Structure 1
Amino acid sequence: MSSPEDTSPAPTPEFAPTPTGIVVGIDGSEQSHCALIWAAREAKLRNVPLHLVTAYTVPIFAASGLDGGYATVDDDVIRQGAEAVLRESAAKVAHLDIQMDARVENGDAAGVLLELSETAQLLVFGSRGRGGFIGRLLGSVSSALPAHAKCPTVTVPLSCAPRLGEAPDVDGAKAKIEKVVTVGVDGSDQARYAVLLAAEQAERNGSTLRIICAVQPYTGSLAWMPAPVDRESLFAEIQVQLDAGEKWLQHHFPKLPIKIDLLEGSAVEALVNATEISEIVVMGTRGRGGFAGMMLGSTTDGVRHHAKGPIMVVKDREDPRQGDRSAFGPLLKA
């Protein structure tokens, strides 16, 4: 257990036990600092351990001059620098009085974090890591991790700094944040699992769950369709399914306030706008079989790249609570 006087846990060669709490990727950049602050507060909220991780590879370069061959940078020097970054990072969140450890790994950053995701509850990282210790650790892995991690991932952009109290709040960003967890849905099984995790997050935070379903307007690209689609009937059908989904959620989360927004327009735009005022926005990794025009797989990257707040991406997984969904009303058939 850390304390303000004992500023940090010493980086250890390996975790003991296997990490089951929140893993955060650290590279010394401002982006990873935002991710660290968010992850530490989430660990406090969930009452789980926080695991700080950094990874590096030893550069090899061709030697110049008359002597041929290759030269390497001293591994000990790099490791000492990485350990210093971890100690400094741990000291910044020591006041939260959470169980915390730190780890330096020699290897590919994405591979290290993906391996740890097999047992972690949550994997947290910044949107990019320019200027960081290990050469854009976060920038090089943040695109790959959401699609391949075994646990939910959270991307924390640098623009979160004001709301986290880590930068001047010039535009009043902190004041705009509502007690809302937003989740994007498209009627797919993947989206239903994302909704369950979003509901858990909202319940844990004491927040309202906002469900957004955005349906793209038809354009000239669909001129080949043999008959015009009755948009009013389509929206009425979707609304019936959303209402049934709300009843299902209320069955499993009876005290959770739920708000549903059925919109016509870009899913990316709707969810990006939601990141400015939501505590967190939750999405699935793909949405095959869902409502036309709201495919989560095609929107996830767009939202993450323009988000103003934390984004949680949830991979599809079977959940026993999904088994009774059909008992509460119609489901969209793929």
Structure 2
Amino acid sequence: MNGTIAVGVTDASAAQNALQWAIERAVARRERLLLVSVVGTAWGIGAEDTLIAHAAHRAKQILEYAAEKARAAGVDAETVIERGDPVARLVDVSQRVDLLVIGSDFAKDRSALRGVRGVRITAAAGCPVVVVPEIVTRERAGVVVGVDGSEASERAIAFAAAEADRTGEGLTAVMTWSPVPVPFELDEYPQDYIDRMQDITTEDLAISLAGLRQDYPDLAVTTLVESGYPAQVLTRTAHSARLLVVGSHGRGAVARFLLGSTSHAVLSHLPTVTVVVR
């Protein structure tokens, strides 16, 4: 499918936010929606067929409501009910669409960290994945992108720049550096070392952003370079942004199916709507 956005649909608040986000993007880009609901199994539970039938009926109702909402906005929408593990089924769907949009989930202990489904789906997906939190972000502005010089980072920049240009918002490109470990007896790093690392990283960021001015002459680009852990800096910077875009894995990833530590940590805190680009 070309020009198709898949949406994982449930009645959870984050999933409903994801649906609204996908509808707005589909309207702006004239794309179609594939609305997906996944009905799991109930192995070892009595009256399994009855439970699954009830779940499928409820899923159909939720999908019909979602489709009506999309069509009311002028978006072509198709619905499908999948059976099985939600992570596996949504990963399968991601192999044949251009973008997958899902709502965030909480950990079982209801801690501040989000659950693992979004991380697992993003790690194995065949397309960019948008993870939408349950918090309201409509009043925010700006697009933040994490940069580390990797190929995934380059694709993240392209996605973020196109989105910022489309919405007329500013783009903030973030790149961090980490100092080398020093002996405990050294209280602080020499200032010339700090300045040099800052300059090198600033130059690397400029190289990564080269060409944006030509492609998007009206795009307002701000750069942020600082020492620190990438996920922490990105999470802090994105708290006031409408969108955060990161690569699925950086230069340290050992395999394509592994989610990088930065994107994993960002998804665990999810400061705003976050796109993970492969």
- Shorter-chain TM-score tier: 0.7 to 0.9
Q: Distance in 2 between matches of 1:270 and 1:140?
A: 22
Find the residue that maps to 1:76 and give its secondary structure.
Answer: helix
Q: Distance in 2 between matches of 1:139 and 1:298?
A: 15
Corresponding residue of 1:200: 162
Change (3 A) 1:62 1:191: closer
Corresponding residue of 1:318: none
* TM superposition score normalised by structure 2: 0.84
Q: Which range moved further: 242-251 or 119-128?
A: 242-251
| Equivalent residue pairs, number | 264
* 1:30 matched to 2:13: yes
One-letter identity of the residue aligned with 1:96: A
Flag as ranges the 4+ runs of structure 1 deviating above 6 A.
none
Q: Deviations over 1:92-124 (max 9, x none)?
A: 444322111211112222222112212211101
Percent of residue pairs bearing the same amino acid type? 27
Q: Distance in 1 between matches of 2:91 and 2:45?
A: 31
Q: Which runs of 5+ in 2 are unaligned?
A: 109-113, 254-258
Aligned CA RMSD, in angstroms, stands at: 2.9
Q: How does 1:157-168 map to 2 (within 5 A)?
A: 157-160=133-136, 163-164=137-138
* TM superposition score normalised by structure 1: 0.71
Q: Distance in 1 between matches of 2:246 and 2:131?
A: 12
Find the residue that maps to 1:77 and give its secondary structure.
Answer: helix
One-letter identity of the residue aligned with 1:119: R
Deviation at 1:54, TM superposition (A): 0.4
Q: Which of the residues 295, 300, 306 maps onto 2:263?
A: 300
- Verify the 8 A CA contact 1:58 1:73 in the aligned structure 2: no
Change (3 A) 1:280 1:288: same
Q: Which runs of 5+ in 1 are unaligned?
A: 1-17, 64-70, 132-137, 165-173, 291-295, 316-334
Greater CA radius of gyration, 1 or 2? 1
Corresponding residue of 2:196: 233
Corresponding residue of 1:293: none
Q: How does 1:1-334 map to 2 (within 5 A)?
A: 18=1, 20-61=3-44, 71-74=47-50, 75-128=52-105, 139=115, 141-160=117-136, 163-164=137-138, 174=139, 177-178=140-141, 180-219=142-181, 230-288=193-251, 297-315=260-278
- Verify the 8 A CA contact 1:183 1:281 in the aligned structure 2: yes
Q: Distance in 2 between matches of 1:130 and 1:50?
A: 28
Change (3 A) 1:297 1:60: closer
Q: Deviations over 1:305-327 (max 9, x none)?
A: 22231000011xxxxxxxxxxxx
Deviation at 1:126, TM superposition (A): 0.9
- Verify the 8 A CA contact 2:250 2:260 in the aligned structure 1: yes
Change (3 A) 1:98 1:222: farther
Q: Distance in 2 between matches of 1:129 and 1:102?
A: 25
Q: Distance in 1 between matches of 2:116 and 2:265?
A: 17
